[in-house]
Amino acid sequence: MSDLTGWKKYGLLGVSGLLTLAFLAAGATKLAGMEVYIQNYQKWGIPLFFLYVVGASEVIFAIGLWIRRFSGVAALGLVFLMIGAVGTHVKAGEMNALMIPIGLGVLALFVFWLRWPETRDRYLSFGKTALQKN
């Protein structure tokens, strides 16, 4: 497993902190069922239960950034959530709302990139083990 040093270590901590604050806040307000989110999901034609799925995912992935074993997977989950957010805004013609999900997605991708060697070794090693047994 790789241990990060120097700018990578502090960059990971700083970016993870920013992502955690952003996604805990966003997820908590979605889970609380804030009226603005309910109106947006209705306007976009997305079933309301999905508001709670997205909110819970944001909170879980934000916490997962701090659990080393799941950090890379959590970051990748945030990337996919932000791809969905960008797609939703584009489909709705809300081009002025793209900068935040694009920015957060890029930051999550940065965390995933730094955690990739460890994530790859942890989650993709099962193929090596199976091949070595044969």
* 128 in a structural domain: no
Residue 18 is assigned to a structural domain of this protein? yes
pLDDT string in tens for the chain (134-residue length): 457 778 888 999 999 999 999 999 999 999 999 999 999 999 999 999 999 999 999 999 999 999 999 999 999 999 999 999 999 999 999 999 999 999 999 999 999 999 998 888 888 876 665 555 54
- Residues in CB range of 116: below 8 A, 6 or more apart: 72
Residue 133 is assigned to a structural domain of this protein: no
For residue 65, tell me if it sits in a domain.
yes
Residues 69, 72, 78, 81: is their CA dihedral positive or negative?
A: negative
> Rounded to 10 degrees, what is the CA torsion of 119, 112, 84, 38?
100
Tokens read off for 63:
């916490």
pLDDT given for residue 127 in this prediction: 60
Query: 11 is in which domain, residue-wise?
Result: 6-123
Structural element, H or E, at residue 9: helix 6-31
Domain count across the chain: 1
